[in-house]
């Protein structure tokens, strides 16, 4: 809140919070069947150009945003949440819908409990040194 | 050519391998600064869980200059190669957000515990958390102005670290310094996994 707005009981714009409550976008759903594969660094890819999700009346503007963002370049779940300014939980549900509709695919990160193999770790070290 | 340029380019893109390193440490220890020093994007924030209303209960003794609380996960990205991307996630700086840690820690390559020698006790919980879960971590002592400098061994003793755990003095604002911290985490993770095999 801006300094001159302090002490003022009325809220304007950003200070008032989102016009639509985040979980209204998921129609109240807080979980997705796909949740297990939607780690923060799982990568969402929309590579089919044949689908025109804009024409799909069941999709919300946020669904369409996700498809469009991940069509430009693969996006991690965390990046999509930050970009859309939505809680990660909401974005996971929306991604789950899109997966179900086959509008996107998700490539899973290295399985938890397993470290990536030594070759990849060496590449990471070399990559960091070269930065 | 039948296909447009974008179609052709798109179909040859390899899905990147994504990895994550966590950056833990007490409130005001410099986690977001560290992420920002190496990230190719301005650190992004995924979720705002704490509103302004939560601020008065934060204990800011010794870190008075900090005005905002990292309430959720600030993260940055380093594209090492087109198909190899490293994400750095700052963990929530307050104990009441422990429930978020399990999700963050799952599948993490390793972690940085950023220590402020003025409030070393703030990183006990993080050290304990990573030790219990067998996650490789490096303790990076952020050399703040106005804070006394202690040798690595003093910090190691104070935190009661395992002998193999690296302790590095760093400046979280300096890219080169943060790079060496991250390299140390990955090297440590590699050794730890080799020892397990």
> CA of A19: how far to CAs of A16, A25, A118, in Å?
8, 11, 48
pLDDT band, residue B47 (cuts 50/70/90): low
Considering the entire predicted model, what is its pTM? 0.81
**Residue span of the structural domain in which B69 resides:** 15-196
Return the CA Rg of chain B: 18
| Nearest-CB residue to A43 (from B15, B73, B190) | B15
Q: What is the pLDDT of residues A100-120, one digit of tens each?
A: 988 999 987 666 556 778 899
Measure CB to CB from residue B87 to each of A47, A78, A122 and give the nearest one: A78
The tally of domains found in chain B comes to: 1
> Å from B37 to nearest chain A CA?
12
Contact B119, B147 (CB under 8 A): no
Contact assignment for A121 to B45 by CB distance below 8 Å: no
Does residue B101 form part of some domain? yes
Q: Do B175 and B181 contact (CB within 8 A), yes or no?
A: no
CA torsion sign for B2, B3, B9, B11 is negative
Is B148 a domain residue? yes
User: How far A90 CA sits from the closest chain B CA (Å)?
Assistant: 10
CA torsion angle B50 B51 B52 B53 (round to 10): -90
**Cα separations in angstroms, A127 against A26, A114, B82, B142:** 39, 21, 11, 24
Percent of chain B exceeding pLDDT 70 equals: 75
What was the pLDDT predicted at B170? 94
What are the CA-CA distances from residue B197 to residues A61, A114, B106, B191 (Å)?
48, 12, 20, 10
Residue B143 inside a domain? The answer is yes
Spatial distance between the Cα atoms of B37 and B60, rounded to a whole number of angstroms:
24
**Do A131 and B175 count as a contact with CB atoms less than 8 A apart?**
yes
> Are B50 and B141 contacting, i.e. CB atoms less than 8 angstroms apart?
no
Distances (CA, A) of A64 to A72, A86, A91, A94, B127: 13, 14, 12, 10, 42
d(CA B100, CA A54): 34
List A residues 72-91 in contact with B (Cβ-Cβ < 8 A): 74, 76, 78-79, 81-83, 87-89
Give the Cα separation of B78 and B81 in Å (integer). 9
- Nearest CA to B159 out of B125, B188, B108, B118 is that of B125
**Strand runs (DSSP E) across A1-131, as ranges?**
43-45, 75-76, 105-107
Provide the shortest C-alpha distance from residue A83 to chain B (in Å): 8
The C-alpha angle B73, A118, B88, rounded to 5 degrees, equals 15
How far, in Å, CA of B131 to CA of A63, rounded? 40
> In a structure prediction context, what are the per-residue pLDDT tens digits for chain A, which is 131 residues long?
444 544 556 666 666 666 666 777 787 777 777 777 788 999 999 866 655 555 677 889 999 999 999 988 899 999 999 999 888 888 999 999 999 988 999 987 666 556 778 899 999 999 999 99
Q: Does B96 touch chain A (CB under 8 A)?
A: no
Q: Which residues of A touch B189 (CB under 8 A)?
A: 115, 121
The domain that holds B178 is classified in CATH as 3.40.50.300
Place of tokens 């996650």: B135
């Amino acid at each position: 809140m801006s300094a001159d707005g302090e002490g003022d009981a009325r809220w304007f714009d950003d200070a008032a919070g989102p016009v639509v409550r985040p979980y209204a976008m998921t129609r109240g759903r807080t979980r997705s069947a796909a949740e297990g594969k939607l780690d923060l660094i799982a990568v969402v890819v929309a590579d089919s150009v044949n689908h025109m999700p804009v024409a799909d009346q069941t999709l919300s503007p946020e669904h369409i945003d996700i498809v469009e963002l991940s069509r430009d370049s693969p996006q991690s779940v965390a990046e999509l949440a930050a970009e859309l300014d939505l809680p990660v939980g909401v974005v996971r549900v929306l991604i789950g819908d899109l997966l179900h509709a086959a509008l996107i695919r998700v490539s899973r990160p290295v399985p938890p409990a397993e470290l990536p193999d030594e070759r990849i770790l060496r590449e990471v070290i070399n990559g960091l040194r070269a930065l | 050519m039948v296909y447009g340029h974008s179609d052709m380019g798109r179909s040859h893109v390899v899905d990147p391998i994504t990895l994550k390193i966590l950056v833990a440490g007490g409130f005001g220890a410099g986690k977001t600064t560290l992420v920002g020093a190496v990230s190719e994007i301005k650190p992004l924030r995924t979720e705002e869980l704490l509103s302004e209303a939560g601020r008065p209960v934060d204990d800011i003794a010794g870190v008075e200059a900090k005005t905002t609380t990292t309430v959720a996960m600030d993260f940055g990205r380093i594209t090492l190669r087109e198909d190899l991307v490293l994400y750095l996630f700052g963990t929530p700086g307050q104990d009441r957000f422990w429930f978020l840690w399990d999700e963050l820690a799952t599948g993490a390559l390793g972690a940085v515990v950023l220590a402020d020698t003025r409030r070393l006790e703030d990183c006990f919980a993080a050290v304990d958390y990573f030790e219990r879960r067998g996650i490789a971590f490096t303790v990076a002592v952020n050399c703040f102005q106005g804070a006394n400098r202690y040798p690595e061994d003093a910090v190691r003793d104070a935190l009661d670290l395992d002998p193999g755990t690296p302790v590095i003095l760093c400046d979280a604002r300096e890219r080169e310094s943060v790079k060496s911290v991250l390299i140390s985490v990955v090297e440590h993770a590699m050794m730890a996994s080799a020892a397990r095999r």
